[in-house]
Structure 1
Amino acid sequence: MKIPAANRSFFLFLFPLFFVFHGFVRNARFIRVTDCLVLTGAYFLAALILYLLFYALLRNSINAALVASFVMAFYLFFGFIHDPLRKHSIFLHRYSILLPVFLGLTVLLTLYLRKKAPFTRLSLYLNLLFLLSILYDGATLTWQSLQSRSPRFSTVAVFSEGQPACDTCAKPDIYLLVFDEYTGSRTLRDVYHYDNHGLDSFLEAQGFHIQGKSRSNYWFTSFSMASMLNMSYLNGISHPQALTSDDYTNVWEPLRKSEVVNSLIAKGYDIVNLSPFDLPGHPSTVSQPFIATNTKLITYHTLADYLERDFGYVLQRFIPRASKLGNVYKTNETVISRTIQASSLHPARPRFIYMHVALPHSPFLFDSSLHRRSPEATNVDFRLKDYLDYLPYTNLQAKQLITAIKGNSGGKAVILFMSDHGVRAWHDVSDFSYFFNNQNAVYFPDRGYSCLYDSISNVNQFRVVFNKLFRSNLPLLRDSTIFLQDSE
């Protein structure tokens, strides 16, 4: 099919190319090139369809491309329009107003351009603007690739090299089971008046040692896990009370250079990564809808992402597994299943299995009677009651998982049943320190727990484990909590 005079309006295709390429340059360390090509192809197809639609109405290639670009700009930068309006409580941020206003503007623009001659100068300007912008980003990417710059966030020491060898040490499989946002039983009892004795009794009967006053060092997932998996605090957080989107991106670098993983690899361990984070030599195979990874770092502010976040429950009603809520359920189910499957294998080399699930993190998909909640009931603002009602389902999954691992391993694997931080029930407590109290229960095959202490924080978790298993003689750090807050 011949496309009418599309070659005059390169900006229509340069625009989405610039959008993806600019996002890639900003996050080049964390995005796969092949995924960017797929995303660019999808945007090219959308731009072509819009162009043909408006050309049929306007019979003018340049003006058709202008209207199509207007629609693409609204779609790609929707979040930058919606968020300021919402932040300042301007009523226009409501979808019921903003989308009709946009539709009306598109109609008015189409009617206006229908009576106008082609805007050739504007077309030339846009062609040059996007072309020069792409070239500038290309130069930036080239310059970045030639720099041997240190990562924004660093850790205080390197452990993977120079550790004393222990040829006589046993090397059991190590399971790190992270249940996201699971508050410690102490806070559940004392602050939220919830009795979690059933889980604690199960863990104790299985031979676990519970650290009741355990704390995370950070209360945001990526920061907490980066610290835990490097056995160090994070240096380089310039404004802890005003985190930016770049901070959330840069914290992925220490995760990809995890000292825990590198140390275990040096000791002959294989790595099984069932988390949403890339680990050294082992990229993530799990997609968590609430953690921006790969091309989500580019598309996070697009209209589609906002509609999915705010109205995913509507899709859940008709196509459960295609919605974000359905994806969370499916991901949790798949990750737990793959962890159990891994525990049934008995390879020659020891393994470190890191599993991370969004439990009891929202969305709260089940009620206290283990019944699946309706999409409408699930897609509501955070309520502490819903979180507490989700714990019986979460505990059931944890019990089945731990029972399977212990059974399949014959009780010979080390199991760390933990959370990255506690629940952030903003309106239910006045002391934010409770948000750091996390779930922390450890199983050692020899039941020797003298190395553990009740108030341990995540930064020291693997220091203790390494000292016990491998006689690493790592000094313990001071157990501190760092209060982080977003800039907006």
Structure 2
Amino acid sequence: MIKRLRAFFETVPLHPFLLVLNVCGVLFVSNQPRLELHETISTVLTLVMIVVLIIALLTPVLGGLRKAAVGATLIVFYLLFFPVIVQSALGDSVPQIASVIVGAALVLGILWVIRPSKSDYRPVTLILNFALCVAPLTSIKAVIDYQTGPAQKRVSPQELFPDVTGLTMGDGRDIWHLVFDRYGDAETLKRVYGYDNEPFLKALEARGFFIARNAVANYQRTAHSLASVFNMEYLDPLTGAMGDESSDWVPVYRNLSDNRVSRFFGASDYKFIHMGSWWNPTRRNPYASENRNLRDLPEFGRALLDLSAIGRVAAALNIGPAHGRGDQCARIKFKFDELRKLADDPDKTFVTAHILVPHPPYVVDADGNCLDLERAASRSRVENYLGQLEYANRSILTLVDRILESAKTPPIIILQADEGPWPARMAGDESLIGRDAPATAWLKASDDELREKMRVLNALYLPGGGADGLPDHLSPVNTFRLIFDRYFGGTFGLLEDRSFIYDSERRLYSFTDVTERVR
């Protein structure tokens, strides 16, 4: 048995594929509280196909399968590990492109040495196969422990928030639900940013919008906030399922992407268009008729790309999705362009969009020009935030006018924020995507900080008297309760408008009521 196993390990070069699994395993283990196992599959399969291609190209060049496999392992190691090793050892003292060029030269040099070798590479194949079979054991154990432990508490969204029933199909109005991430309310903009947003709000009111001027988010972060909006409930069922001590983000992510509102419109005769962000929970909607996004790489794949030599070079040269700032600027403009096109769609349409303005990174100015890192760094945080806000305001008014002009039946339009801006004391690195929201001890936040974080834009265009009698503190959790009751024959009624914060990253479902502190 041992001889057969040894012969197999000497003969069959599995090591380049095992290296891929090692890399993906390490990255997945560190992100288990935020990722589900199936979300890694497309990235792993892509890397496996790349390895197959490299081996196919190297086999005739190096003169043998095992030689080609060694070359493939070397190339994969270089692509995925070398930039990280250099940065860990030398910091930022060596330019990214320089380290990548030096690494590429080393790889080519080793391949040049391998090519004329007369060795059958059985010993090397054995060593690499064995080493890369043993290396992932720790990761495998960590995955098994987590998936059979904390992950077992995860409950299906349909069980926590069952499908809505008893609704009619309405009167054929288009419905637009547009989320502008971290768009603060007028008080926050005046108090913290010294900005008067009244001209914009009055322009919306002149077009028939109801502005809930004292609206406060129901939760302080996007995942919790939007999960409550689209499930039309507070998140107490998640607390019951996960307990007070959970640091597992996946349950709230699940209930954001698989929610009651999406399930209803996905099964209806509406055309359901979803426009997501780069962030996995809103990147795509499984119930949408069509997902429209720009370069929507899975977040796991994006993380690997950012670490890789190719990603480092692309970022340095401002190319493609690896250039996070340029990618984000292009995505923002793409969304507004696509939304304007959708306004002319004659079909009965339900549109959801998660638009990351004025959310950082600050990549666009008030005139819609993309900002490189140097230009953004030369401006203050306030200037950058307000630049994106003013760009959003102009784009919103143009879009609203287009929607209202094109609609055969007066549409329903919701312009809403999921959360307000981060207080400066708490903010992370706002120059690149995904680095702006550090772990925070929310219970230690001051009243002013919580008000900044949770007071939000909430503007509703509800034709036919749909806004009659609404309170000025209407909160987002009541959005679809209101729409379903007034346009789809529902009987949900409005919940009491309350605001909660989760305690910390270790207690994601332990909620404290802060309503009186933030109003």
User: Structure 1 length normalisation: TM-score?
Assistant: 0.73
Name the % identity. 22
Secondary structure, counterpart of 1:345 in structure 2: coil
Which amino acid is the alignment partner of residue 500 of structure 2? T
| Alpha-carbon distance in structure 2 between the residues aligned to 1:261 and 1:361 | 24
Q: Hey, what does 1:482 align to over in structure 2?
A: 501
Asked if structure 2 preserves the Cα contact closer than 8 Å seen for 1:231 and 1:463, the reply is: yes
Residues 1:214 and 2:233 are matched in the alignment: no
Secondary structure, counterpart of 1:183 in structure 2: coil
Q: Give 1:258 shift.
A: 1.2
Q: Hey, what does 2:401 align to over in structure 1?
A: 403
Q: Give 1:81 shift.
A: 6.1
Q: Hey, what does 1:391 align to over in structure 2?
A: 389
- Structure 2: where are the runs of 5+ without partners? 1-9, 428-445, 507-519
Q: Hey, what does 2:516 align to over in structure 1?
A: none
2:19 to 15, 18, 41: 15
Q: Hey, what does 1:158 align to over in structure 2?
A: 161
Q: Give 1:364 shift.
A: 2.8
Residues 1:419 and 2:421 are matched in the alignment: no
Q: Give 1:293 shift.
A: 2.8
Aligned residues: 451
Alpha-carbon deviations, 1:108-151, whole Å to 9, x = none?
9988x9799998556424324546889997xx99xx9xxx9774
Alpha-carbon deviations, 1:287-328, whole Å to 9, x = none?
467x873652662662358637xx84x534xx6898433332
Asked if structure 1 preserves the Cα contact closer than 8 Å seen for 2:183 and 2:358, the reply is: yes
| Alpha-carbon distance in structure 2 between the residues aligned to 1:238 and 1:255 | 16
2:472 to 451, 454, 459: 454
Which amino acid is the alignment partner of residue 465 of structure 1? I
Q: Give 1:204 shift.
A: 0.7
| Alpha-carbon distance in structure 2 between the residues aligned to 1:73 and 1:381 | 39
Alpha-carbon deviations, 1:169-192, whole Å to 9, x = none?
534221001122222222101222
Q: Hey, what does 1:3 align to over in structure 2?
A: none
Asked if structure 1 preserves the Cα contact closer than 8 Å seen for 2:209 and 2:460, the reply is: yes
Asked if structure 2 preserves the Cα contact closer than 8 Å seen for 1:467 and 1:474, the reply is: yes
Secondary structure, counterpart of 2:387 in structure 1: helix
Secondary structure, counterpart of 1:229 in structure 2: helix
- Structure 1 residues 196 and 475 mapped into 2: Cα distance closer, same or farther (>3 Å)? closer
CA RMSD between the two structures: 4.8
Alpha-carbon deviations, 1:244-272, whole Å to 9, x = none?
xx62x554322332101223345543311
Q: Hey, what does 1:296 align to over in structure 2?
A: 301
| Alpha-carbon distance in structure 1 between the residues aligned to 2:82 and 2:379 | 22
Asked if structure 1 preserves the Cα contact closer than 8 Å seen for 2:83 and 2:308, the reply is: yes
Residues 1:282 and 2:288 are matched in the alignment: yes
Q: Hey, what does 2:342 align to over in structure 1?
A: 342
| Alpha-carbon distance in structure 2 between the residues aligned to 1:423 and 1:79 | 33
Q: Give 1:20 shift.
A: 5.2
Secondary structure, counterpart of 2:501 in structure 1: coil
Asked if structure 2 preserves the Cα contact closer than 8 Å seen for 1:273 and 1:284, the reply is: yes
Asked if structure 1 preserves the Cα contact closer than 8 Å seen for 2:11 and 2:125, the reply is: no
- Structure 1 residues 239 and 44 mapped into 2: Cα distance closer, same or farther (>3 Å)? farther
Secondary structure, counterpart of 1:329 in structure 2: helix
Asked if structure 2 preserves the Cα contact closer than 8 Å seen for 1:92 and 1:98, the reply is: no
- Counterparts of 1:317-332 in structure 2, within 5 Å, are 323-332=323-332
Secondary structure, counterpart of 1:415 in structure 2: strand
Asked if structure 2 preserves the Cα contact closer than 8 Å seen for 1:364 and 1:390, the reply is: yes
Q: Give 1:424 shift.
A: 1.4
Residues 1:203 and 2:204 are matched in the alignment: yes
Which amino acid is the alignment partner of residue 303 of structure 1? S
| Alpha-carbon distance in structure 2 between the residues aligned to 1:382 and 1:262 | 43
Asked if structure 2 preserves the Cα contact closer than 8 Å seen for 1:176 and 1:353, the reply is: yes
User: Structure 2 length normalisation: TM-score?
Assistant: 0.69
Asked if structure 2 preserves the Cα contact closer than 8 Å seen for 1:159 and 1:259, the reply is: yes
Residue range with higher mean Cα deviation, 362-371 or 95-104: 95-104
- Structure 1 residues 474 and 82 mapped into 2: Cα distance closer, same or farther (>3 Å)? farther
| Alpha-carbon distance in structure 2 between the residues aligned to 1:12 and 1:481 | 48
Asked if structure 2 preserves the Cα contact closer than 8 Å seen for 1:228 and 1:461, the reply is: yes
Secondary structure, counterpart of 1:416 in structure 2: strand
Q: Give 1:100 shift.
A: 7.2
Alpha-carbon deviations, 1:55-95, whole Å to 9, x = none?
69xx9966x86686456346435798699x6xxxxx84326
- Structure 1 residues 44 and 485 mapped into 2: Cα distance closer, same or farther (>3 Å)? farther
Residues 1:27 and 2:36 are matched in the alignment: yes
Q: Hey, what does 1:440 align to over in structure 2?
A: 458
